[in-house]
Amino acid sequence: MKRITLTTLMAALCFSTLNSQAQTSWDFQFGYHDVFSQNALNYVVQEQNIQRSSENGNPSDGVSYWNPINNGVEATLTQEFTFPGTTTQIFLNDGSEPVYNFGGGNYGTQSVWASTDGINWVQLVNLPPPSNISNDYFYDQDLPASLLGSDQIWIQDRMETWGWDIMAQYLRADTSANPNDVFDLDANYTTSSVGDTLPTFTLLVFTVTSLCLASNCTKRFANSHTANIR
């Protein structure tokens, strides 16, 4: 009976551990439909040589994006997110980041970077001038572990164009055809300090060890009393 109880408890604790690791909800969620959305600038902390453009003059019904103002000068857009705890997981959907090469000196480059302090940056995307007319990339995944464990995450896009200032575009979207957000950042974080709670695995080991010790003590007690009776 004791073996069944111990096994059942171990299975329950292991399931609890795995279930917490397969977390589907987020502690923080932010996103916007297009670069002209009302909340698109909520976390922007720096704009350098960059502008928002709408190809048909109606941002709510057409193609829109960020692009450089002046050719031959790097354009950057920086967003900063601060959390009330240290991050354990961050998902980034960084939309569409096309670069073009129309020939005749008309081409562009683009890269996307992330940082935990706004100083040291990790490159996520690198798009040099394409060998054909265009190249595009959609960053749609969790950030690497090296960018976790801080209470901040910075996202920065860098572009440069030559000849025509729309040869690189950040977060390009056709709002008339695409109902999805062009930018999303979701995060899980913990506000507990190391000493506040025991890690789940340590708690599991402690519980199992305690039960094993208690089981052994019970057996010894039973054996001693059986010997005395004999």
CATH class, range 25-190 = mainly beta
Length of the chain, in residues: 230
Structure tokens at 65: 């994006």
Residue-wise pLDDT for 112-162, tens only, equals 999 999 999 999 999 999 999 999 988 999 999 999 999 999 999 999 999
> Does residue 107 register a pLDDT over 90?
yes
Residue 84 has pLDDT above 80, yes or no: yes
Share of the chain above pLDDT 90, in %: 66
> Between 191 and 3, whose confidence is greater?
191
What does the domain layout of the chain look like in residue ranges?
25-190, 198-230
What letter represents residue 197's amino acid? T
Instruction: Give the pTM.
Output: 0.74
> Measuring CA to CA, which residue among 172, 98, 162 is closest to residue 130?
98
What is the structure's pLDDT at 57? Answer: 82
Model pLDDT, residue 103 = 95
